[in-house]
Chains A and B, each alone.
Chain A
Amino acid sequence: MTHDPGYNFAYLDESTKRMIRRAILKAVAIPGHQVPFGSREMPLPYGWGTGGIQVTAAVLGPADVLKVIDQGSDDTTNAVSIRAFFRRTAGIATTESTEAATIIQTRHRIPERKLREDQILVYQVPIPEPLGRLEPRIAETRRMHAMADYGLMHVKLYEDIARHGHIATSYSYPVMVNGRYLMSPSPIPAFDNPKMDQMPALQLFGAGREKRIYAVPPYTSVKSLDFDDHPFRPIRAPHVCELCGSGDTYLDEVLTDDVGGRIFVCSDTDFCSERQAMKEAAE
């Protein structure tokens, strides 16, 4: 496949890509630390993953195979249009298979299939600052990161338990990276947090509007914050997938009619269809 000659490879010009790569290298060198970068205008509105797209553009090579997921699914508008964007501007191959992909750009999920060393997971991040809702002053949150002054984050979890009897945070659940930096894992479900710990793949996070890049290098410790007597628990709906029968994956609730009928199915559509195919083959 060739890319549209009207664009530079992967849309961004080479100096912008180099600038983003420098930010990525710095981010990899300081796991979990938010590195500012000169976010460019992209032909998509913020909220459509402009940060993730710029990171993907900067790491993409002609031989890469790109998968894009949104809420675990490959066929939402957002995922489809980002894949089309890179097919057109970079001429690269795209896939819906987690196994076949070399770069996976994601919004809201980590694939169920274990990722490998030769893969990169790129997260689209809407709100990179985990302390932002607790401490609105940006200069102060930076100081808190610099001093590893994270008591306030535990206050938030304390308040959750005091109010609800358990930690009620189920998305963007804060993590400590490499025992040093507090990081927001973007709005993935807390269920996915354990997958980040010691992951063989490189994890890159891009926030377009907030102009921040951060990273978790391969095989890095990522721990969800908790209390000794209220340990972190990855929560999923207590059902099995209606389609593939999986009992240990993250499930979406789907309404089937307008009289309250509902089923639970895997949120990771690629994983689910692979399991369905395996079941059929076995039968």
Chain B
Amino acid sequence: MNERSSKTPLLTARDLTLRFGRIAALDGVDLDIHPGEVVAIVGESGSGKTTLLRVLSGLMRPDAGEVSYLGQDVLGMSEAARRRLMRTEWGFVHQNPRDGLRMAVSAGGNIGERLMATGARHYGNIREQASHWLTRVEIDPARMDEVPAKFSGGMQQRLQIARTLVTLPKLVFMDEPTGGLDVSVQARLLDLIRALVADLGLAVLIVTHDIAAARLLAHRMLVMRHGVVVESGLTDRVLDDPQHPYTQLLVSSVLAA
């Protein structure tokens, strides 16, 4: 048994089910994520990965099932409580930086928003924090007052990460964070995410269709197909010794490519 699983999980989901008409986007999904653990969700397009993230983070209600965060019932909590979690202990990094950034607000303002939303009222301190986080995501703090529209795609994504991490969340949901980027930019971003996650001891639930990214970042992985988790386990085990035919196909198609 994995040593982590002996500790209390941060987030637990049981038997999540959600249908869109005839499509079962989630069909009996179970999941645990422990403090400091990185879990990758892989699977082809349409397999239910985004839906799973949205349900786990309370953005969408399942037809059935339970989600609990540190013993609190996520689906039953008030919207106020869920929003509070979303701007403090949780973070969400979207595939498209436009969905996670305010494009008309400066980089510093983007990073400062979560601080201000949780009561920060000292302009100088907010600037200091913004500068610190820009440095951590390898953006020149001299560009703090520029709007993200002037940044490259990779920089926008790093800014979105800085904006999310500034409140030191415990759990971050990432939906294909390297999705729209050039391959070389992807590699740099993955290295950065890996370093930050290790430094900060974050738990991360990352959706990706990139097997190599999963291998680089994740301790464990879940393979999804048609709303079902067909295989899960330690990343190296799943990738080196896939049990389910679908996983075998996924792994071999990557090797062939």
Contact = CB atoms under 8 A, between A and B. Distances in A.
- Of listed A155, A228, A229, residue having the most chain B CB within 10 A: A155
A159 B124 contact: no
A219 interface: no
Contacts of B255: none
Nearest to B82: A147
A162 B109 contact: yes
B91 to A, nearest CB: 15
A228 B113 contact: no
A143 interface: yes
A137 interface: no
Interface residues of B, number: 22
Tell me what chain B mostly uses at the interface: helix, strand, loop, or mixed: helix
A247 B59 CA distance: 55
A149 B87 CA distance: 10
Contact of B109 (A146, A155, A226, A228): A155
Q: What bracket does the count of chain A residues touching chain B fall in?
A: 10 to 19
A230 B123 contact: yes
Contacts of A143: 79
Interface of B: 79-80, 83, 87, 102, 105-106, 108-109, 112-114, 116-118, 121-124, 126, 144-145
26 contacts: A146-B80, A147-B80, A147-B83, A149-B117, A151-B87, A151-B114, A151-B117, A152-B117, A154-B116, A154-B121, A155-B105, A155-B109, A158-B108, A158-B116, A158-B123, A159-B105, A162-B106, A162-B108, A162-B144, A163-B145, A226-B121, A227-B121, A227-B123, A228-B121, A229-B122, A229-B124
Interface of A: 143, 146-147, 149-152, 154-155, 158-159, 161-163, 226-230
